[in-house]
Amino acid sequence: MGGEGLQWVGAAPFSETPHIFQNLGDGTYQHSGLLAVRAAVAARTRITFKILYNDAVAMTGGQAAEGSIDPARITRQLSAEGVQRIALFSDNPERWHKDRELAAGVEIHHRDALDAVQRDLREQDGVSAIIYEQTCAAEKRRRRKKKLLAESSRRLFINPRVCEGCGDCSVQSSCIAVEPLETGFGRKRRINQSSCNTDLSCVKGFCPSFVEIDAPVLRKPDASRLKAFEAATFPTLPTAPVPALDAVYNVYVAGIGGTGVLTIGALLGSAAYFDGKEATVLDFTGLAQKNGAVVSQVRIAAKAGAIHAVRIGGADIDLLLGTDFVVAAGQDALQKLSANKSAVVLNSDETPTADVVTDRDAKLPAAQMIDAVLSRSSADHRHLISANRLSQGLFGDTVSANTLLLGYAWQKGLVPLSLEAIRHAIKVNGAAVAANNRALDWGRLAAIDLAQVQQLAGLAAAPTPIETLHGLVERRANDLVAYQDSRYAERYRALLQRVRNAAVAHGAEGQRFAHAVAANAYKLMAYKDEYEVARLYVDPAFRAALNEQFADPGKVSVWLAPPMISPIDGRTGRPAKRRFGPWVFKLFALLAKLKPLRGSWADPFGHTAERRAERRLVDEYFQIMEAQVDGLSAASLPTAIELAALPSQIRGFGPVKMAAIEQADARRAALLAAPPKAAPPVRIYNAAA
């Protein structure tokens, strides 16, 4: 790593590509990137250097970049080197307009203008540069945890009933804190308040489900109740036996960036030192902001000189501390596990990968991944624990999950270090000492009585029963009554009755067809127009969901782009969203009562292209499903199922939804034009054979 961009200086004369962008972190710029800039200027290469000034080397723990650089100094360096055009981007561009330390001629932009400026720069000859000022999300979390950065006074919340699960918010923000949320009405999106960097970029998603909260107070568990329990219980926890160190003991900590994986490795290494043992710690870091893989390999020995290599060898793990099962199921970890000796303490909670940013329906094969890890470990030492959910229930966030896992492993006798040494390492580390000691002890208690800890964390709720097809139809029909009226709901019930009657003769595949129609006929009929969005905001379920995350919601506003009055954003080509204050809820209450106007000549919103398309889709779907039912056979069933499920791909609002409708229309036309698939041949066996 280093000197990025220099390769293009040599390759450019032999390439038909006229211009490239080269990304540089501020640390890389400082140690070698400036030399690449100098070479590119000397060679008159067409290149734009994109320098991310994130105020810290976040990949390796948040250290300051060497040399005490800042954006203003970088602009002066670049100007002195002969860079022709320099653009500075910031979340707060106003603070730079009067800064006299900037080089002359530097352009100042809000980061929203990045795409437009990049398109302009790629047409320019010579060397140009972009400086993008934004503190890394992982580093913001670290600083807030250490009380070095104040909590944001504004947060976002996604109304799950309004959300369509289109994923446009993830596309616009590229933020991993916007996570999938599985609900009784399909997959939606939620904001993980523990990992959110509060830059509010996801609100750019074209969707009316985003609620902004001023001066919010995140809901925390009842601290007084829990601390009273801790005072009565933790001092009497039994001490676990510390494993004897007859050979080098290998601990493999696997997790994701920004969650404290390297901290756990450092604590183990320090604790070994305080216990008078020898230890090595080998860290492999990934991308914190995108939930990249991070591994810490810790080797502990009783005597000095016993460790001859810092890397854990194949089939040589003694303890796998899997804070994230995706990383724990990676090839490197699996080949180091041994069914004869490896103990596993694995977090069963799923943290979405970066795939959810680009694929709204991305799903992890969680069960297979967890099984891959556990099946390669010792049958007597396989431990699966919901660490994130326990941490959320006990502390109000997931920050303490890794330390909780460490406490669990120690109490199970899987960590060859004294409890006193681990506590001393936590003290010397100096970050959230009290919280980490509490998490350590909660993990110990979980190892003794997991059911009790689950109950105290609020995880002991009864499992959700599996919903039958009849239950699904009735729940959706009742919602359609609230959406419009009972007559509208009866139209839905009548279609489903026909579908269910026809599907009975086709076994499991027939049931798939019926379930697809039940979900998608409802989806099309309950399209979220202005009346429905208003109804879902005045529904008590919205306030209940809000109060579940926030003890004090503060001042609540909603981001909307109302039709007919929203100007078109010149940069995106979409209607511009605006924030509407608390008064909008009175308007919602009035608008919700006007739902009888829906689809009539008096409907002021019903004449837009989007609303006309939504009504067309409902009528076409009923016609197509009725035709499929009339001719349902083993040969036509696969096509019928795909046609029935096709509306699930139509999600979002405004331009997002219209683009999805266009794609669905094309696919539906292709399916209807294709000849029926031949039924599988029936194989006849000779009974006498």
For 115-123, which contacts have Cβ atoms below 8 Å and span 24 or more sequence positions? 115/571, 116/571, 117/87, 117/89, 118/21, 118/48, 121/48, 121/85, 121/87, 122/19, 122/21, 122/48, 123/19
At which residue do the structure tokens 């329990």 appear? 229
Q: Residue 630: how many CB atoms within 10 A of its CB?
A: 9
Q: How many CA atoms lie within 13 A of 291 on its CB side?
A: 21
The better pLDDT of the pair 336, 194 is held by 336
Which residues are paired to 127 by β-bridges?
A: 47
Weakest mean pLDDT among 60-69, 187-196, 269-278, 418-427: 60-69
58-70 exposure pattern, b = at least 16 Cβ within 10 A, e = fewer: bbebbeebeeebe
Closest C-alpha among 363, 360, 326, 392 to residue 192: 392
Distances (CA, A) of 584 to 202, 461, 591, 594: 21, 36, 10, 15
Q: Where are the alpha helices (DSSP H) in 382-460?
A: 387-395, 401-411, 419-429, 433-448, 450-456
At which residue do the structure tokens 């945890």 appear? 145
Residues near 185 by beta carbon (within 8 Å), at least 6 away in sequence = 161
Question: Is it the case that residue 190 has pLDDT exceeding 50?
Answer: yes
Tokens, residue 190: 């939620």
Q: Report the distance separating Cα 531 and Cα 605, nearest Å.
A: 9
Distances (CA, A) of 665 to 240, 263, 514, 518, 627: 64, 52, 21, 20, 17
The better pLDDT of the pair 26, 106 is held by 106
Q: Residue 488: how many CB atoms within 10 A of its CB?
A: 15
Torsion of the alpha carbons at 70, 71, 73 and 78, rounded to the nearest 10: 140
SS3 642: helix
8 A C-beta contact, residue 156 and residue 202: yes
List, as one string, the DSSP characters of 25-92.
EHHHIIIIIHHHHHHHHHHT--EEEEEEE-SSBGGGTSBPPTT---HHHHHHHHHHHT-SEEEEEES-
Residues near 463 by beta carbon (within 8 Å), at least 6 away in sequence = none
Residues near 552 by beta carbon (within 8 Å), at least 6 away in sequence = 215, 216, 217
pTM (predicted TM-score): 0.82
Residues near 570 by beta carbon (within 8 Å), at least 6 away in sequence = none
The better pLDDT of the pair 92, 669 is held by 669
pLDDT at 657: 96
Report which DSSP code applies to 148: S
Tokens, residue 142: 């670290």
**Ordered structural domains, the chain, with CATH:** 6-135 (3.40.50.970), 151-214+530-597 (no CATH), 225-456 (3.40.920.10), 471-527+606-689 (no CATH)
Confidence band of 297 (pLDDT split at 50, 70, 90): very high
Closest C-alpha among 134, 144, 140 to residue 114: 134
Q: How many CA atoms lie within 13 A of 264 on its CB side?
A: 33
The better pLDDT of the pair 99, 439 is held by 439
Q: Angle, to 10 degrees, between the axis of helix 433-448 and the axis of helix 419-429?
A: 150
Tokens, residue 528: 């979220």
pLDDT at 58: 53
Question: Is it the case that residue 187 has pLDDT exceeding 50?
Answer: yes
Q: Report the distance separating Cα 474 and Cα 191, nearest Å.
A: 30
pLDDT at 217: 85
- Which of 52-56, 194-198, 261-265 reaches the highest mean pLDDT? 261-265
Question: Is it the case that residue 149 has pLDDT exceeding 80?
Answer: no
Q: Residue 231: how many CB atoms within 10 A of its CB?
A: 9
> Average pLDDT, stretch 269-280?
95
pLDDT at 362: 87
Q: Report the distance separating Cα 477 and Cα 481, nearest Å.
A: 6
Question: Is it the case that residue 65 has pLDDT exceeding 80?
Answer: no
> Average pLDDT, stretch 353-372?
89
Rg over alpha carbons for the chain, rounded to the nearest Å, is 29
Question: Is it the case that residue 679 has pLDDT exceeding 60?
Answer: no
Identify the helix (H) or strand (E) that includes residue 190: strand 186-191
Identify the helix (H) or strand (E) that includes residue 639: helix 637-645
> Average pLDDT, stretch 654-678?
90
Q: What is the largest CA-CA distance in the chain?
A: 97
Question: Is it the case that residue 97 has pLDDT exceeding 50?
Answer: yes
Tell me the per-residue pLDDT of 594-626, one tens digit each, with 9 for 90 and over. 999 999 999 999 999 999 999 999 999 999 999
> Average pLDDT, stretch 290-306?
88
Tell me the per-residue pLDDT of 371-405, one tens digit each, with 9 for 90 and over. 999 999 999 999 999 999 999 999 988 889 999 99
pLDDT at 629: 95
List, as one string, the DSSP characters of 228-241.
HHHHHHGGGPPPPP
Tell me the per-residue pLDDT of 420-464, one tens digit each, with 9 for 90 and over. 999 999 999 888 899 999 999 999 999 999 999 999 998 866 567
pLDDT at 523: 97
Question: Is it the case that residue 643 has pLDDT exceeding 50?
Answer: yes
Weakest mean pLDDT among 176-180, 282-286, 557-561: 282-286
Identify the helix (H) or strand (E) that includes residue 334: helix 331-336
Q: In what order do the strands lie in the sheet with 127-133?
A: 20-25, 47-53, 127-133, 85-90, 107-110
Q: Report the distance separating Cα 668 and Cα 642, nearest Å.
A: 9
Weakest mean pLDDT among 112-126, 153-167, 672-686: 672-686
Mean pLDDT (the chain, rounded): 90
Sequence letter at residue 255? G
SS (H, E, C) 280-320: EEEEECCCCCCCCEEEEEEEEECCCCCCCCCCCCCCCCCEE
SS3 260: coil
pLDDT at 688: 43
Closest C-alpha among 430, 406, 428, 431 to residue 419: 406
pLDDT at 680: 53
597-611 exposure pattern, b = at least 16 Cβ within 10 A, e = fewer: ebbeeebebbebebb
Distances (CA, A) of 260 to 263, 329, 387, 437, 689: 5, 19, 14, 15, 65
Confidence band of 146 (pLDDT split at 50, 70, 90): low
